[in-house]
Structure 1
Amino acid sequence: MKSLRRKPGASAPAQDPSAPPQLRREAVVDIGSNSIRLVIFERISRSLVPVFNEKVLCGLARGMDAEGKLNEEGVEMALANLYRFVRLCEAAGVDDIEMLATAAVRDASNGPGFVEEVRSRTGKEVRVLSGEEEARFAAYGVVAAMPDADGVVGDLGGGSLELISVNQGRLGASVTLPLGLLRLSGDSIEARDEALKKIDEALAQVDWLGSQPGRAFYAVGGAWRSLAKVHIEQTNYPLHVIHGYRKPAPEMQDMLGVVSRLSKRSLSQFSSVSKRRIDTLPMAATVLSRVLRASKAKQIVFCAYGLREGSRYDKLTPEERALDPLAEMAGELARREGRFGDLGSKLFDWIAPLFPEESAEEARLRRAACLLSDVAWREHPDYRAEQAYLRLLRQPMEGADHEDRTFLALSCFVRYGGGLGNKAVASVRELLPDARQRQAVVLGCALRLGYTLSGGAEQVLEESKLSFGNDGTADLKLGKNAWVPGGDVVERRLSALNKALENRENKSG
């Protein structure tokens, strides 16, 4: 393979130096105990948008406990790929590259030498995180995606396990334990028993871990995400999105007990599990089972965000952290891909009379739905509804759980004229309680009416008024000097809205 070095005299694309720092792309290289990963973010903001993501499993910590050194083969693989990562960033015009090393490099006797070699080969410094910093960044990653996280965050890597308490998004006590998957062996009954003893003894020293029973445990890390994939596959869960997947702890414990004792041959039957994860999956299940028991968690929530996103969140100001990530994501998507400017905000106000008793959380989701309500306008008319539905169902989304994303997807599906008999919708609607389904249909019908009436022109909305009567029906009034009169299609959209309202009112009554 030819080298990717630049030709003499050639220069990599550069970002606009006049652009504010928060508008420039930047990259994080996570040098973990088992894998190294490059993520390039579009910019640093409350809603993080990755534009490139690549992972290589190097196994730096493999066998480290026996010799106290980084694995030689892993070091060479890591050095080669870190050089590639830096050159990729330069080719993409990314100047701000932060390299973060975790437990393996921190604990290995040859860790300092590895850091120096990385600097020599790439010209970039490596920041070796302390255990406390590693735990904080992992928790910040969860908080960035789930602002109201309440419970314990656990990040399992190849070299260590980080645990940190979170209380409604605020960080509390933390600990780093030498329970990384590459430091635990369970290939024999004796080895597994020894690993169990090591795990239980380490967890017993964390006196705060089970002090607040009944809260959530937030699972971070690729090995634990693989367990979520297995559970989704085995239970035929209709939405194959790991982030935000939550289940009662007892239900998850049942599966963990099985997986922890499966052979590699049995594990290879799971189509959802990477072959490179098979070796460590039983021990990952064992560690998670013990942590759930020790933390006395009521439910487990899997999070796709972690150290890399947390390190970016750490850079935000308190004012930026206080922003709603869902609203920021929806607003950015509307600005970048929408046809009609800030029409979503106008629609939010215009249809508000139809939701007189909504809570603050319901209003938050309704606003996001309005902002996202034109994401499929470029699609073929026959497929807009389904494409909008699938996109929002699977869109990387902060500040929204699986119910929320289903609500947003269903409302946008109806906004584009989708019928509830559609097979693509029917399989996932079960994630949404009936009352929320009816609310999503009302919202979708109202948005459809708004777009039909206005054609995307704000002034038309301003010259009309949508009201909600005591009889549970909607009434549309146009101003005397309205530029655009109503018509047959508008009447049909209003009729569909009133049918949806009637269904909502009758069921709620």
Structure 2
Amino acid sequence: MTTVAAIDCGTNTIKLLIGTHTDTGLEVAVRESAMVRLGQGVDATGRIHEEALVRAFAAIDTYAEQIGQHHVDRIRFCATSATRDASNAAEFRAGVLFRLGVQPEVLSGEEEAAVAFAGAMSNISDDARRPVLVIDIGGGSTEVVLGDDTAPGHDTLLASESMDIGSVRLHERHVRHDPATREEIGAVVRDVDDQLDACGVDLAAAATAVGIAGTMTTIAAGVLDLATYDPEAIDRSVHRVDDVHAYVERLVSLTVAERLALGYMHPGRADVIDAGALIASRVLRRTNVESLLVSEADILEGIAWSMRP
């Protein structure tokens, strides 16, 4: 048996999964996330803010302690959008190496999409209609991946795209009021639609749509009208697309204070989820699916599976 630690460092969140590969699959011992907003100001300045580095390194120090307690055999630290874009990314990479003893891998958009797809598909039943569209909305980028895992022995990616639209990036770029004005919402939507117009993935070809990561799981919690965030209720839940659109419209109209009052809303997501939710809605409008399946399994599982013996 091999115990692994998978770390996904995104624009808004750093997530950790510690699990053991056994003959029957991956047994997860730890799954945690910390909202550090690593991408604070990156879209405007091209640099990771010093305050964001402090927050990120504090979270990584905590993860290092847990990794040591679980006697991990292998660590893989994958960094995504913010560290692809930042001019001072070397400072961040050096800090990770010092704390964990491993060099962070800065994934390309294509690599990020492939790992996210693998993680999502690990949680999808065999009877889900193919091809499957996986939608991964992050803080700095959004990945859409169309694939089919019915080919013997491996997943088949039909097409993927990593777009520079994410909840933090678009909120910082366009939103100045609380809640966003009609003009600001329109600016976000135009930005998303411009990216989707140029997207190389045929979203309309999807037979099943799967949403992963925090924006999508929070939307699921809202559609379910949960009192608190409940991963078991959210995982593999299915929602009518019309209900998703209606919820997004309502969510965007709320102030940050009103979003914070929602029992399922993470405080670190409340201010930027307006842009993330609009991305979700605009992507789904390009598909022909009637429902959205939401999975708690995501890029973390994909990273962990990449380290199986």
TM-score by length of 1: 0.54
Q: 2:95 matched to 1:117?
A: yes
2:163 pairs with one of 177, 181, 198:
177
Q: 2:146 matched to 1:165?
A: yes
1:110-509 equivalence runs, <5 A: 110-148=88-126, 149=128, 150=130, 151-169=132-150, 170-185=156-171, 186=175, 187=177, 188-189=180-181, 190-212=183-205, 215-233=207-225, 241-315=233-307
- How far apart, in 1, do the equivalents of 2:23 and 2:157 lie? 20
- How far apart, in 1, do the equivalents of 2:191 and 2:201 lie? 19
- How far apart, in 1, do the equivalents of 2:25 and 2:218 lie? 25
Contact 2:19–2:27 (8 Å) recurs in 1: yes
Following superposition, which runs of at least 4 residues in structure 1 exceed 3 angstroms of deviation?
Answer: 314-317
Contact 1:140–1:314 (8 Å) recurs in 2: no
Query: RMSD of the alignment, in Å?
Result: 2.3
Q: Deviations over 1:438-484 (max 9, x none)?
A: xxxxxxxxxxxxxxxxxxxxxxxxxxxxxxxxxxxxxxxxxxxxxxx
- Corresponding position of 1:104: 82
- How far apart, in 2, do the equivalents of 1:25 and 1:314 lie? 12
- How far apart, in 1, do the equivalents of 2:260 and 2:188 lie? 23
- How far apart, in 2, do the equivalents of 1:28 and 1:273 lie? 25
- Residue 88 (structure 1) shift: 2.5
Contact 1:242–1:304 (8 Å) recurs in 2: yes
- How far apart, in 2, do the equivalents of 1:277 and 1:307 lie? 19
Larger Rg: 1
Q: Which amino acid aligns with 1:227?
A: I
- How far apart, in 1, do the equivalents of 2:23 and 2:12 lie? 29
Long gaps (5+) in structure 2? 151-155
- Change in CA separation of 1:210 and 1:97 when aligned onto 2, cut-off 3 Å: closer
- Residue 296 (structure 1) shift: 2.9
Greater Cα shift, 32-41 or 115-124: 115-124
Q: 2:39 matched to 1:61?
A: yes
1:20-99 equivalence runs, <5 A: 23-43=1-21, 47-99=25-77
Q: Which amino acid aligns with 1:167?
A: D
- How far apart, in 1, do the equivalents of 2:85 and 2:125 lie? 32
- Residue 179 (structure 1) shift: 0.8
- Change in CA separation of 1:239 and 1:91 when aligned onto 2, cut-off 3 Å: closer
- How far apart, in 1, do the equivalents of 2:148 and 2:72 lie? 35
- Change in CA separation of 1:268 and 1:57 when aligned onto 2, cut-off 3 Å: closer
- Change in CA separation of 1:313 and 1:24 when aligned onto 2, cut-off 3 Å: closer
- How far apart, in 2, do the equivalents of 1:45 and 1:176 lie? 34
- Residue 156 (structure 1) shift: 0.8
Query: What's the secondary structure of 2:203's corresponding residue?
Result: coil
Q: Which amino acid aligns with 1:171?
A: L
Q: Deviations over 1:287-336 (max 9, x none)?
A: 1110100223321000111111012333458xxxxxxxxxxxxxxxxxxx
- Corresponding position of 1:438: none
More helix by share: 1
Relative contact order, higher structure (CA 8 A, sep 6+):
2
Q: Which amino acid aligns with 2:187?
A: E
Q: Deviations over 1:363-398 (max 9, x none)?
A: xxxxxxxxxxxxxxxxxxxxxxxxxxxxxxxxxxxx
More strand by share: 2
Contact 1:25–1:44 (8 Å) recurs in 2: no
Query: What's the secondary structure of 1:278's corresponding residue?
Result: coil
- How far apart, in 2, do the equivalents of 1:281 and 1:298 lie? 23
- How far apart, in 1, do the equivalents of 2:23 and 2:110 lie? 24
Q: Which amino acid aligns with 2:270?
A: I
- Residue 85 (structure 1) shift: 1.7
Query: What's the secondary structure of 1:200's corresponding residue?
Result: helix
- How far apart, in 2, do the equivalents of 1:98 and 1:62 lie? 24
Identity of matched residues, %: 26
- How far apart, in 1, do the equivalents of 2:66 and 2:253 lie? 41
- Change in CA separation of 1:77 and 1:207 when aligned onto 2, cut-off 3 Å: closer
Query: What's the secondary structure of 2:253's corresponding residue?
Result: coil
- Residue 219 (structure 1) shift: 0.4
Q: Deviations over 1:130-178 (max 9, x none)?
A: 1111000110011111154532101111111011002255322000001
